[in-house]
Amino acid sequence: MKTDRNLNQTGLADQSDRISHSAISEILRSLRAVRFGSVEITIHDSRIVQIERKEKVRFSAPSRLPPE
């Protein structure tokens, strides 16, 4: 199968399609920081414009307030 674009080792076509090192670093940092949750990457016009990290805090037993 022949394509019009030559892909590099990462599967990206050319310099303009590459993801910046700072974006990759931030994504990796967010992934390492989340124990339970998610990392959402927002893309506009094929560019990363936002990285959002949502973290959940889990408790093994229901919390109860002490009686007053």
pLDDT per position as a tens digit, 46-65: 899 999 999 998 888 776 77
Say which residues have a Cβ less than 8 Å from residue 13's Cβ, sequence separation at least 6: 5, 6, 7
CA-closest candidate to residue 36, choices 53, 51, 56? 56
**Where are the domains positioned within the chain?**
15-54
Average pLDDT over residues 10-33: 80
| pTM score, whole prediction | 0.58
Res. 19: pLDDT tops 50: yes
Helix locations, the chain, DSSP H: 21-33
Q: What is the pLDDT of residue 3?
A: 44
